[in-house]
Amino acid sequence: MAEKTDATIVDIYSVLHVLQPGTLGPKSRLKANKPCPICLQSDRTKVEHLDLMLDAWDPCDIVGVESNVTFAVSPRLRNEFLASEVRGVLFREMKVSLNGNFAVSSPGVEAPELVQLDVVATVPAATSWYDPLEKCERCGRVTYQPNASKRAAGATTSSRRPKGPLRQVPRAAWNGEDVFWTQDPGPPVVTEKVKLLLDRSVAPQLILHPAQFV
């Protein structure tokens, strides 16, 4: 680990888990994304318009959608992100719909107002949670395989007791974003600035796994 006396050290965390109280509704619009015919890989799914169909709702500030391809936040948390000039995210208006069981799961609860939080920044490097297998000759994409470090971290059930070695992010590829994807298929990374905003929010089941720049 780098010494803490270095003023440029930034603490970072992987967003390992956050509550997902719904699914993509029929009004969602995904970016068409044909897989490469050779390696069968495609770019990360982009949700250009989010229709979050809720199964149930307990008021909170942030939820994930479909394995966290995108997120939805309260207007309050959006305003905090904007006030703190968080880099690497984009906010969009979205639709909230309720599935057929909602009235049973959440009696008397009204549809919340939410805003889509999309992670738009990508650090063009892989992290230590994935091993590169091969580079496709057709599309140039690298195939990544989760390794033992990723599997160990995946067993983490609380932010206070992270399991496995720290996820390592190549510092040289980072452009100062506060929220970003990495080249591998791993979860997004957030900086300490974002962690502090999330710590002050209602974020059910949020697990932030400590990571480090190397």
**Do residues 21 and 205 make contact, with C-beta atoms less than 8 angstroms apart?**
no
Q: Does 34 bind Zn ion (CB under 5 A)?
A: no
Q: Pick the binder of Zn ion from 4, 34, 138, 160 (CB under 5 A).
A: 138
**Do residues 152 and 164 make contact, with C-beta atoms less than 8 angstroms apart?**
yes
Structure tokens at 114: 């939410």
In the complex, minimum distance from the CB of residue 127 to Zn ion, in angstroms, rounded to a whole number? 21
Three-class DSSP category at 115: strand
Question: Judged by CB, which is closer to Zn ion: 31, or 49?
Answer: 31
Question: Judged by CB, which is closer to Zn ion: 2, or 38?
Answer: 38
Question: Judged by CB, which is closer to Zn ion: 39, or 50?
Answer: 39
Question: Judged by CB, which is closer to Zn ion: 36, or 214?
Answer: 36
Q: Does 10 bind Zn ion (CB under 5 A)?
A: no
H/E element, 212 = strand 207-213
Q: Does 139 bind Zn ion (CB under 5 A)?
A: yes
Structure tokens at 29: 């619009």
In the complex, minimum distance from the CB of residue 169 to Zn ion, in angstroms, rounded to a whole number? 24
Q: Does 133 bind Zn ion (CB under 5 A)?
A: no
In the complex, minimum distance from the CB of residue 118 to Zn ion, in angstroms, rounded to a whole number? 25
* Residue whose structure tokens are 């720290």: 166
Residue 77 DSSP class: H
In the complex, minimum distance from the CB of residue 44 to Zn ion, in angstroms, rounded to a whole number? 15
Structure tokens at 193: 């600035």
H/E element, 16 = strand 12-17
Structure tokens at 181: 């994807």
**Do residues 53 and 23 make contact, with C-beta atoms less than 8 angstroms apart?**
yes
Question: Judged by CB, which is closer to Zn ion: 42, or 168?
Answer: 42
In the complex, minimum distance from the CB of residue 78 to Zn ion, in angstroms, rounded to a whole number? 36
Q: Does 142 bind Zn ion (CB under 5 A)?
A: no
Site residues (CB under 5 A) for Zn ion? 36, 38-39, 136, 138-139
